[in-house]
Structure 1
Amino acid sequence: MKVKVIMNPVAGRGRALKAKPQILKALLEYDVELHLEETKGINHATEIARQAVRAGFDLIVVAGGDGTINQVVNGMGEERIPLGVIGCGTGNDFARALGMPADPVAAVRQIMGGVTRQIDLCRVNQSYFVSSVGVGFDGEVAFHTNQGFRWIRGKAAYLCSVFKTLFSYRPRRIKLTIDGLVMEFNSLLVAVTNSPTYGGGLKINPEARINDGLFDVCAVQYMSKPEILACLPLLFPGWHRSLKKVRMMKGRNITLESNESFYYQVDGEILTDKTLRFSLIPRALAVKGAQVEPAGGFDFAAEKPARVQEA
């Protein structure tokens, strides 16, 4: 078996680089032809993955965070080469959704000894993503996390950025369409996810499953600063779902539009736009070692009736 390891040496404050000797030693316990390459800049992981596909590798293993995994998946496209994930980033929400251990050596053993599962491959505009897209407040929080709090990991980094964003965020009017259901509202945030958590474990869409053929959406109307501070603790256990200004939905085809540009995060990477179009390819991404329940009998050919509603 030819195995390509794509390692981001700066992910998670150098966590992958520190674990490099142990990762290599663990992989070499198996009968593999091993090639490791470290990323050297933005989107380098995409190019490495693209070359690995052309070179005929049997398995691509990513040692990095959600952003590195995102780049690799965009380099692989819709190729069915199995992916292995060693979560070494700041949040590691995708690795968590896959049931991967936090310990890198344990993750290697789960990948190499595990079966291959098919999960959903998500797309926003022209790019693939694996875990989450957050628009509005969430996008600006991710922006501040990347700009000023990368030395802190997980939920702590997210919370520091939340407090910074509180004093600068301005609500935007958005139009959100989910399988024909149309909503217009002044937004605090909209999170479209394939996995249940983001921000290092915050349960934004607790019922999300990465292989059910559906996006999970959390849409939140604008709140005042005191309301945000009061509701923030509810994110940890996922109790925000019962709030009056929060709406939880599922769908397959989603469009989000605004007259003003907004920040949004895609697997932790920050972009700006006015329109986002989401689509999903059910169970199109092969992941080796993933511990996920087999998908149920969802009928991908079924269509929901169109409904229109303003909020």
Structure 2
Amino acid sequence: MRALLVVNPKATTTSERTRDVIVRALRSEADLFVEYTRRRGHAMALVRQAAADGFDAVVTLGGDGTVNEAVNGLMTSSPALADGPGSTADRLPVLAVVPGGSTNVFARAIGLPREWPEATSVLLEGLRVGRFRTIGLGRADDRYFTFCAGLGLDAAVIRQVERARLRGRKSTVGLYLRSMISEYFIGMDRRRPAIHLEQPGEPDEYELATVVIQNTAPWTFIGDRAINPNPNASFDLGLDVLALRQLHIPSTTRTLAQVTARAPEPHGRQLVRLHDLSEFTLSATQPQAFQLDGDYLGERTKVRFTAIRDALRVVH
């Protein structure tokens, strides 16, 4: 088996010694090539070339941003775009993920242990015995995502966190909570909901204040606690949506309590919940913060979402 290991050297929970241990372990199961990312978008290019060169597996060592770039590299590679026998998933290298970021939502969502030593052990066994599963992806315009997307408040919070990290702050639960409070009370125009949701064959939803899209559950984690705005979302189905019509303090507080509960079932007059959607479009009367898989991607006034079923094989 030929495998490419894509390493993000800035991954928050790994060191040079960690990377050496992982490389030696993977070399026991594969003819391994190692590449280090040097800039944003580099992992995408490396993985796209590996797929074109016929590699059998792609392994990422990094956080959810590295995984997202690898997935986009796979899904835009020549084997994915070519017409040929079998499914797209069967024509692409299998994806394996070693968690190295601060949250690692995707790795945990596919059932991997939170810590890299245990996760590496599981992946080695999976590669050895061929234990793969096929998952669906989401696509926002021309960009793929694995677990979540957002237009509005959650993306604005991520934007503020990323700016703080550029100033040297560490990514912590406290930083996210402070950023959410700041964005909610100061950064957002909460009086004029600006987002419109349109889906084929169904009534449109107007004047939405913020929208969360999930391709699986959970949406994210706070430590060991899963946060689940759409608890029925699944890699095996289409996309799930939770939108808030207003961001009034009482209803927003109630929704936050519901999605952080151990058995979440968000409900209320201010909520719009949609399950297993194949496609829909969000448009806004003014630019909205936009994120995919926890990475801020600027502001948008229109995004088309599509569910891509049975897109990719992953080791689990």
The two structures have a TM-score, normalised by structure 1, of: 0.85
> 1:301 — aligned with what?
none
Query: Paired residue for 1:33, among 27, 31, 41?
Result: 31
**Secondary structure, aligned partner of 2:234:** coil
- In the aligned structure 1, how far is the partner of 2:283 from the partner of 2:17? 42
Q: Residues 124, 269 of structure 1: CA spacing in aligned structure 2 closer, same or farther, 3 A cutoff?
A: same
**Cα pair 1:173 1:184 within 8 Å, conserved:** no
- In the aligned structure 2, how far is the partner of 1:138 from the partner of 1:120? 23
- In the aligned structure 1, how far is the partner of 2:245 from the partner of 2:148? 19
Identity %: 28
**Cα pair 2:229 2:264 within 8 Å, conserved:** no
**Cα pair 2:51 2:92 within 8 Å, conserved:** no
Counterparts of 1:118-129 in structure 2, within 5 Å, are 118-129=134-145
Q: Residues 45, 111 of structure 1: CA spacing in aligned structure 2 closer, same or farther, 3 A cutoff?
A: same
> 2:7 — aligned with what?
7
> 1:297 — aligned with what?
none
Q: Residues 27, 153 of structure 1: CA spacing in aligned structure 2 closer, same or farther, 3 A cutoff?
A: same
Aligned AA (1:116): F
Aligned AA (2:154): D
Aligned AA (1:121): L
**Cα pair 1:120 1:284 within 8 Å, conserved:** yes
1:184 aligns with 2:205: yes
Counterparts of 1:1-311 in structure 2, within 5 Å, are 1-11=1-11, 13-15=12-14, 17=16, 19-30=18-29, 32-77=30-75, 78=80, 79-114=91-126, 115-149=131-165, 151-153=169-171, 155-166=173-184, 167-171=186-190, 172-200=193-221, 201-212=226-237, 214-225=238-249, 227-237=251-261, 239=264, 241-250=266-275, 251-271=277-297, 272-289=299-316
Aligned AA (1:128): Y
**Secondary structure, aligned partner of 1:204:** coil
**Cα pair 1:158 1:199 within 8 Å, conserved:** no
**Cα pair 1:177 1:183 within 8 Å, conserved:** yes
**Cα pair 1:7 1:16 within 8 Å, conserved:** no
Aligned AA (2:2): K
- In the aligned structure 2, how far is the partner of 1:155 from the partner of 1:258? 29
- In the aligned structure 2, how far is the partner of 1:228 from the partner of 1:48? 42
**Secondary structure, aligned partner of 2:187:** coil
Task: Calculate the aligned-residue CA RMSD, in Å.
Answer: 2.1
More deviation, 101-110/196-205: 196-205
Q: Residues 242, 226 of structure 1: CA spacing in aligned structure 2 closer, same or farther, 3 A cutoff?
A: closer
> 1:305 — aligned with what?
none
**Cα pair 1:91 1:153 within 8 Å, conserved:** no
- In the aligned structure 2, how far is the partner of 1:163 from the partner of 1:132? 21
- In the aligned structure 2, how far is the partner of 1:185 from the partner of 1:56? 46
Aligned AA (1:264): F
**Cα pair 1:120 1:211 within 8 Å, conserved:** yes
Aligned AA (2:21): Q
**Cα pair 2:135 2:310 within 8 Å, conserved:** yes
* 1:273 Cα deviation from its structure 2 partner: 1.3
**Cα pair 2:258 2:265 within 8 Å, conserved:** yes
**Secondary structure, aligned partner of 1:6:** strand
- In the aligned structure 1, how far is the partner of 2:273 from the partner of 2:173? 22
5+ unaligned residues in a row in structure 2: which ranges? 81-90
* 1:14 Cα deviation from its structure 2 partner: 4.9
- In the aligned structure 2, how far is the partner of 1:278 from the partner of 1:204? 18
Q: Residues 16, 141 of structure 1: CA spacing in aligned structure 2 closer, same or farther, 3 A cutoff?
A: farther
- In the aligned structure 2, how far is the partner of 1:97 from the partner of 1:16? 24
Aligned AA (1:169): M
* 1:33 Cα deviation from its structure 2 partner: 0.9
Alignment size in residue pairs: 286
- In the aligned structure 2, how far is the partner of 1:157 from the partner of 1:233? 19
5+ unaligned residues in a row in structure 1: which ranges? 290-311
* 1:18 Cα deviation from its structure 2 partner: 5.7
The two structures have a TM-score, normalised by structure 2, of: 0.83
* 1:180 Cα deviation from its structure 2 partner: 2.7
Q: Residues 90, 287 of structure 1: CA spacing in aligned structure 2 closer, same or farther, 3 A cutoff?
A: same
Q: Residues 19, 236 of structure 1: CA spacing in aligned structure 2 closer, same or farther, 3 A cutoff?
A: farther
